Amino acid sequence: MKAEANRLGFLACGIARAEFLAEEAPRLEQWLGDGKHGQMAYMANHFDMRLDPRKLVPGAKSVISLAFNYFTTARQADPEAPMLSTYAYGRDYHKVVKQRLKPLMAFVQERFGDAAMRAFVDSAPVMEKAWAQRAGIGWVGKHTNVIRQGAGSWFFLCEIITDLELEPDAPATDHCGTCRRCVDACPTDAITPYGVDGSRCISYLTIELKEAIPQEFAGKLDGWAFGCDVCQQVCPWNRFSVPHAEPAFAPKAELLNLKAEEWHGMTEMVFERLFEGSAVKRAKYSGLSRSLRFLRNGD
């Protein structure tokens, strides 16, 4: 199965035993209690389901965790242009990675017989990072992204939860050491070692937040209009990252060549054309326009 996942283009594949996430439960409860999810009310929904995959797939015995590379050396041409998080350069990863999972699930069915299974790509109450760490994909770094030795952190996570009883892998161990580059580099001081205040994260402010961006963040978005890559850009482990080979993630030349004034003068028609099939649609034209105004005017 792991060989087939590799053949299909996945960066890594690991297995964990499907069980209640006892260590994560109190941390999640505390994080929610402290309001660090901001206005992401959905994070507080399905608390029990989020912590136990057997509530998503009755009788589940294994969580197959997979990583899919999205690293690219492509960059926006205009250094003054508002920035877009790298993961949104190409087509929406939810759909692309879900399509890549389908032949793997078919292979599992063919090889192991009829089995109950469901695939998830950041699309259900699944604690993807916890499962990735348990399955040996990588450890949860100080910025709370999953880091894989020899590969870095520029990858998407997805899971197949199944009632097949598979041999679990050894959990990944932490290799952040004394490094705190991500903590020190965060423009809004959202990161504490192994924790993120989601309500202060630039990705939250430019994507999830539906209201006006609070004035306390004026001059602190560091040029980001959609998402933020700072904590990954400064991580030493990402020197091992290699470019992906997924055609659907290739950015449009027009997008990379967009000048600052074109970003700020973007019409809804241009937005719809430029970001067709993109994860940027999550923010909608109104959300992106708000972020662009805030970058320019601080309001």
Confidence grade of residue 114 (pLDDT, cut at 50, 70, 90): confident
Q: What is the per-residue pLDDT across 269-298, written as a single tens digit (0 to 9) for each? A: 999 999 999 999 999 999 999 999 999 986
- Token pair 């999640």 in the structure block, residue: 28
Transcribe 60-109 into DSSP letters.
--EEEEEEEE-------S-TTSPEE-GGGSSS-HHHHHHHHHHHHHHHHH
Half-sphere exposure of 259 (CA within 13 A, CB side): 2
pTM for this prediction: 0.96
Confidence grade of residue 240 (pLDDT, cut at 50, 70, 90): very high
Q: How far apart are the first and last CA of the chain?
A: 51
Q: What is the per-residue pLDDT across 19-61, written as a single tens digit (0 to 9) for each? A: 999 999 999 999 999 999 999 988 999 999 999 999 999 999 9
Half-sphere exposure of 22 (CA within 13 A, CB side): 2
Catalytic residue ranges = 122
- Amino acid (1-letter code) at residue 133: Q
What letter would DSSP give residue 155? Answer: E
pLDDT value at residue 298: 64
DSSP reduced 3-state for 51 = helix
- Residue 299 clears pLDDT 70, i.e. is over it: no
Sheet holding 62-69, edge to edge: 12-17, 62-69, 155-162, 117-120
**Cα–Cα nearest to 224, from 184, 182, 186, 281:** 186
- Per-domain residue ranges for the chain? 2-73+92-162, 181-238+251-297
